[in-house]
A and B are shown apart, each in its own frame.
Chain A
């Protein structure tokens, strides 16, 4: 497929925006049903783009990025499926575009790597955010957010444009690479999965005192139990917070009453009723 520089630039810009949209902004522009027709129009075959978008969207349902688990990326996947469908001259029908979806998978995997790398890099940037906050530097906070979106958009744009020019050959090379270095990406995935524990540990430091360990472990235990019941595992966090609310309210009422009665009895010795 002959691609001119204007088309490549347009693909870069659209990919840049969509990469941001998958987590921020409207969180809907990036869906294949919207994205693929746009890419199709840029490459001169709008109709095929519409059909690829429909096919990819139906494939995508059921693999939404939920609860931190990330499926191979729908944006790069959708873009490359459109590119392959057009360059191979596939039929604009559900059966016709099937081959393009398969060829796009290695690129979708690399899109996911770009996400993993960005989320890891930005973990390091949080120390900079803390510094900006300590100086009440509202612009600094804004810039960190803009920078993060720019990193993600650029990585995605580069992958899409590289795919646009080198097509299947690059797909094969990417697949080889991801096979040979699968342990590195799995390592980043495992590390990424553990990093949220740092955030939890900081929260613990804020709220924990020695008499709170029981509540902490109780919250953990109730959630483990609920997660084991398939029919309620989806709403486990909500149900657990109801129980937590009851415990917290009971504690509040008890201590408020102790304080009130201590006050009326003139017993100054009970300082905080714990």
Chain B
């Protein structure tokens, strides 16, 4: 269980040799499958570990250490798929130095989080709209050139970035990590501060849980009342609540079960906001995202 890694250091603390070029190339290839087992709980964790394995196997010749490393490499992670090799290179260089485990975990989440935003801006908001716009128009004129051009441009950019970032960040990390070992304890603390700061930030950036209840007469919008107290209050409260449950010994799976029940009961009574994507006869989305099973208040329809 990822949350149960209690050991703070690897058993074998001798820094490993640099990993082979072959392993780095394998990691670049496997980085394409970062989102293979994407899920709501830990997002890209499964694909991340799959990508790290070729490097981890070379670095950790001690089998207990390999198990330890694989366990903590299943932490929640969400970063941009095309920029992930940057994080992989940094983390691999720390694994190679046998940096203490908490530092690796903190640096990983602190590096991964911000890249998500950069990547979205670079790729989904810039590269794809421009190339897809040009190529879509070519295709509308009946030319298959549109599809070919799109694939060529998109993948040339994607592979150039993946390959370059992996090599650059791994070399950079190897140089940087060896200089911090003299103040390792202080560095661990600083990394944890940055990590916990980023986790707080992620809650605000990715947390979208809201209450749906809007009563038109008298006009009451419960979510805007909550926003008046503290914006993103529900994501913050739920995360802190889950933190205490996990500290008490709840497994992540049990927490997920609880959330599924809360989610479905919540929408059954129209309490929680959720989008069913369903459309009515005229192709319009449903007011409030869905129709509750039990309708005890009138959702405004304007």
Contact = CB atoms under 8 A, between A and B. Distances in A.
Contacts of B76: 196, 198-200, 202-203
Interface in A177-198: 178-179, 182-198
B45 interface: yes
A195 B281 CA distance: 32
Contact of B243 (A121, A146, A201, A228): A201
Given A135-B67, A183-B291, A220 B36 contact: no
Interface stretch (B15-23, B92-100, B128-136): B128-136
Contacts of A227: 204-205
B289 interface: yes
A182 B286 contact: yes
Contact of A123 (B39, B135, B242, B274): B39
B267 A190 contact: yes
A222 B190 contact: no
B106 interface: yes
A144 B38 CA distance: 11
B266 A192 contact: no
A167 interface: no
Contacts of A64: 124-125, 128-129
Contacts of A198: 41-42, 76, 242, 246, 252, 255-256, 259
Residue among B196, B231, B270, B279 having the largest count of chain A Cβ atoms under 10 Å? B196
B32 interface: yes
Nearest to A250: B190
Given A144-B46, A183-B292, A61 B129 contact: yes
Nearest to B130: A61
Given A50-B147, A189-B276, A200-B202, A145 B33 contact: yes
Contact of A256 (B186, B275, B292): B186
A106 B282 CA distance: 12
B205 to A, nearest CB: 5
Given A33-B150, A190-B274, A238-B117, A197 B110 contact: no
B144 interface: yes
A88 interface: no
Contacts of A217: 200
A199 B49 CA distance: 15
A31 B199 contact: no
Contact of B120 (A23, A67, A252): A67
A29 interface: yes
A28 B149 CA distance: 11
B91 interface: no
B38 A23 contact: yes
A182 B278 contact: yes
B102 A238 contact: no
A196 B243 contact: no
Contacts of B231: 224, 228
Interface in B77-95: 78, 81-82
A122 interface: yes
Interface string B101-140: 0100110011001101110110011001100110111111
B297 to A, nearest CB: 14
B151 interface: yes
B196 A216 contact: yes
Contact of B75 (A144, A197, A202): A202
Interface of A: 20, 23-29, 31, 33-34, 37, 46-47, 50-51, 53-55, 57-58, 60-62, 64-69, 72, 92, 94, 102, 105-106, 109, 112-113, 119-127, 129-130, 132-136, 138, 141-142, 144-149, 175, 178-179, 182-209, 212, 215-224, 227-228, 234-238, 240-241, 243-245, 247-249, 251-252, 255-256, 259, 272-274
Please provide the 10 A-B residue pairs with the shortest distance between their CB atoms, ordered closest to farther: A199-B76, A191-B263, A54-B139, A219-B200, A186-B274, A195-B40, A187-B264, A186-B290, A122-B39, A223-B204
14 contacts: A24-B32, A33-B135, A47-B142, A54-B141, A125-B37, A144-B37, A183-B290, A187-B264, A205-B243, A206-B72, A206-B195, A228-B231, A237-B198, A237-B201
